[in-house]
Structure 1
Amino acid sequence: MTYARIEENRSHPRLPALLAAYHLANQAEKGVAVGAVADLPAVYRGEAEDPATAFAADTVLLVTAPGDEDPSGCVVLKAAGEGGAPEIKRLWVEPHTRRKGLARALMTEALRRAATSGAPAARLTVWSWRAEPLALYRALGFEAVDSWDERPDLVCLEKPLDVIERLTPDAVRAHAEAGLAALLVDAVDSGASVGFLAPLDAAEGAAWWSGVAEEAAAGVRDVWAARAPDGGLAGVVTLTRTGTANGRHRGEIARLLVHRSARGRGLGRRLLATVEAHAAATGLTLLVLDTQTDSPAERLYRAAGWTAAGTIPDFAADPGGTLRPTTLYYKRLG
């Protein structure tokens, strides 16, 4: 299975045409259609003619559909002031490549980058008559807020962002009986093969995390958790290091868990990217993991550039006790 490719490049030769198409369509929707880029209002004309300059301080993402050579969509993540919320703008996918999830892929990556920057929220505006974009934004968790732009028919939306933090051993202990155990129980209840059979008792889950806290204190396992806007834990991932002298370049990712209430907004991908970045920064050059074959997690790993090394039949029982195959994955870093 192939996936859309997303790249950051405000100087891409296709970007002016994409932004021109966006602005021309937008003007037509507002009832002030123009025939050419030269007739656009100056600020919009500048974006279409020289996006590298217009968005010099911002993040510009482009998406290429599977099987295509050139990008057919774009989005801009505007730089935010200190402590502020960045704004997502100029989301555009060419009509002939719509209905392929490209707009969602662009939004998910923009939100991931906003969250990685430490922003408390992301915001955007959309015309009230644009039903499909509104439906996408609301599906991604955006909600209407008080307007910061008084133009008629313009809806202002904002989405609080999950914050990913590395947990100290004491923090793991503190969250073991509540948030972390709840994530493990939720994963087992939803059918994930994570080393436990259903039903998983919360106390057993808490005991497992207490053991993880000791491993973290010993320096052999690192833990990251995603804190939801309400303060609860929405996801977690761990990284273990090989103790053998000939394997110190290698790490293993385990227990990548996202609560069912937080799925569908790119949190698993952000957790994975966070642990990969830390592994590379601390000298690891190879990561490995295993996951149940044909599980939703496989789509995540493949989309993130992981390579399947092989499948082992009847490797582990699922929560219901049925033996399932497992696929081994690896990713080179650097």
Structure 2
Amino acid sequence: MHVTIEENHSHPRLPDLLAAYHLLNEAEKGTPVTTVAGLPAAYRAEVEDPAAAFAADTVLLATPPGEDLPAGCVVLKAPDDGQAPEIKRLWVAPAARRKGIARALLTEALRRAAASRAAAVRLTVWNWREEPLALYRRLGFEPVASWDERPDLVCLEKPLDVVERLTPDAVRAHASGGLAALLVDAVVGGASVGFLAPLETAEAAAWWAGAADGAEEGVRDVWAAHGPDGQLTGAVTLVRAGAANGRHRGEIARLLVHRAARGRGLGYRLLATAEAHAAATGLTLLVLDTRTGSPAERLYRGAGWTAAGTIPDFAADPTGVPRATTLFYKRLG
């Protein structure tokens, strides 16, 4: 399923989404109201004029495939007094739930926060909301000291890995260090990324040196993620088709997340970053392949990619055993 995410403070559907959020919120808090007019003034103002209420913030809406109107929203509040940006008003219409919309909204909000070079993102959630709590924890949010003393409110924060596009020189600078370590870690972890075990650092570094040459030639883009300590935690590359009749498409290659950094949504953010750049530079179709049944396959399906088919015994895993490969594609725009 491909969820369309857009930024829009003034979408005519946004007031309805915010109203549904606030009305349920008041009911769960034990102060139910039946209409927007009965909401507290601050919440009523958001519903009546979201463009004004969130003028300094990022408002994202999500539209399911085949639909004309958004079914979900989230607000990424601008940083205040040096604090981390805060995620607010995450809402998905009941009929559209369990389709990955909340994760897609959160992933895009996290990507944008990281692009602003924020060190972390925070949020609050009522302790009785078990499903949202579980989702936040899967994405790497952890409980922190409360900044809001309302009873039953849980304060969570997530340190952000910064995702940056690397210049060819930067790829070369990291080739024998962090980038090689990511590739070696992937092979040790059993990922089928084109190499057999054991993968020596020198061989991994040589592959990245070739990727740097491709970046210099304009046929490959490289992004890397690093944590607050500067250590590389993930990488992804986008390869542009060279044939004249294929210049509208690209291939996602070597999506890598270090095993110590998994479970925080970084793979989704790296993939979303490459997809956004591909669309912004005129590509309309992306392809990739991955080992059938792998965690990576589940990631791509969750990110809206479509399986085109499976080839048995297409590539060997790091131990040399032939494994099936699933081919995926995703249309952009």
Q: Which amino acid is the alignment partner of residue 46 of structure 2?
A: E
Instruction: Tell me the matched-pair count.
Output: 333
Is the Cα–Cα contact under 8 Å of residues 110 and 269 in structure 2 kept in the other structure? no
Partner of 1:167: 166
Is the Cα–Cα contact under 8 Å of residues 186 and 258 in structure 2 kept in the other structure? yes
TM-score, L = length of structure 1: 0.80
Matched, 1:197 2:192: no
Instruction: Give the alignment's Cα RMSD to 1 decimal.
Output: 3.6
Partner of 2:228: 229
Mapped partners of 2:194, 2:78: distance in 1: 42
Q: Which amino acid is the alignment partner of residue 92 of structure 1?
A: W
Q: CA deviation at 1:62?
A: 4.0
1:155 to 1:248, Cα distance in 2 relative to 1, 3 A: closer
Query: Which 10-residue stretch deviates more, 270-279 or 193-202?
Result: 270-279
Q: CA deviation at 1:194?
A: 0.8
Partner of 2:267: 268
Deviations 1:224-252 (A, max 9, x none): 10112332111111233455666655543
Partner of 1:23: 22
Spell out the pairing of 1:40-119 with structure 2 (5 A cutoff): 40-63=39-62, 72-80=71-79, 85-94=84-93, 102-119=101-118
Mapped partners of 2:330, 2:68: distance in 1: 25
- Secondary structure in 1 aligned to 2:255? strand
Gaps of 5+ in 2: none
Query: Which 10-residue stretch deviates more, 156-165 or 60-69?
Result: 60-69
Matched, 1:325 2:320: no
Mapped partners of 1:136, 1:246: distance in 2: 42
1:190 to 1:39, Cα distance in 2 relative to 1, 3 A: same
1:84 to 1:168, Cα distance in 2 relative to 1, 3 A: farther
TM-score, L = length of structure 2: 0.80
Mapped partners of 1:282, 1:98: distance in 2: 32
Mapped partners of 2:69, 2:245: distance in 1: 43
Partner of 1:176: 175
Q: Which amino acid is the alignment partner of residue 187 of structure 1?
A: A
1:330 to 1:83, Cα distance in 2 relative to 1, 3 A: farther
Is the Cα–Cα contact under 8 Å of residues 235 and 254 in structure 2 kept in the other structure? yes
Deviations 1:139-174 (A, max 9, x none): 322234444445455443322211111223333233
Is the Cα–Cα contact under 8 Å of residues 139 and 265 in structure 2 kept in the other structure? no
1:187 to 1:146, Cα distance in 2 relative to 1, 3 A: same
Is the Cα–Cα contact under 8 Å of residues 107 and 268 in structure 2 kept in the other structure? no
- Secondary structure in 1 aligned to 2:194? coil
Q: Taking CA–CA contacts closer than 8 Å with sequence separation of 6 or more, which of the two structures ends up with the larger relative contact order?
A: 2
Is the Cα–Cα contact under 8 Å of residues 84 and 120 in structure 1 kept in the other structure? no
Mapped partners of 2:245, 2:66: distance in 1: 40
Is the Cα–Cα contact under 8 Å of residues 108 and 265 in structure 1 kept in the other structure? no
Mapped partners of 2:283, 2:22: distance in 1: 45
Q: Which amino acid is the alignment partner of residue 171 of structure 2?
A: V
Is the Cα–Cα contact under 8 Å of residues 58 and 77 in structure 2 kept in the other structure? yes
Partner of 2:123: 124
Partner of 2:33: 34
Mapped partners of 1:152, 1:73: distance in 2: 27
Mapped partners of 1:333, 1:129: distance in 2: 38
Matched, 1:297 2:290: no
Q: CA deviation at 1:76?
A: 1.7
- Secondary structure in 1 aligned to 2:136? helix
Is the Cα–Cα contact under 8 Å of residues 4 and 65 in structure 2 kept in the other structure? yes
Q: CA deviation at 1:88?
A: 0.8
- Secondary structure in 1 aligned to 2:135? helix
Mapped partners of 1:218, 1:96: distance in 2: 47
1:237 to 1:82, Cα distance in 2 relative to 1, 3 A: farther
Mapped partners of 2:61, 2:285: distance in 1: 28
1:263 to 1:26, Cα distance in 2 relative to 1, 3 A: same
Mapped partners of 1:25, 1:42: distance in 2: 16
Partner of 2:277: 278
- Secondary structure in 2 aligned to 1:75? strand
Mapped partners of 2:278, 2:64: distance in 1: 30
Deviations 1:69-116 (A, max 9, x none): 865543222233697632111223455665665444432332223223
Q: Which amino acid is the alignment partner of residue 317 of structure 2?
A: D
Query: Which 10-residue stretch deviates more, 144-153 or 269-278?
Result: 144-153
Q: CA deviation at 1:12?
A: 4.6
Q: Which amino acid is the alignment partner of residue 290 of structure 1?
A: D
Query: Which 10-residue stretch deviates more, 138-147 or 154-163?
Result: 138-147
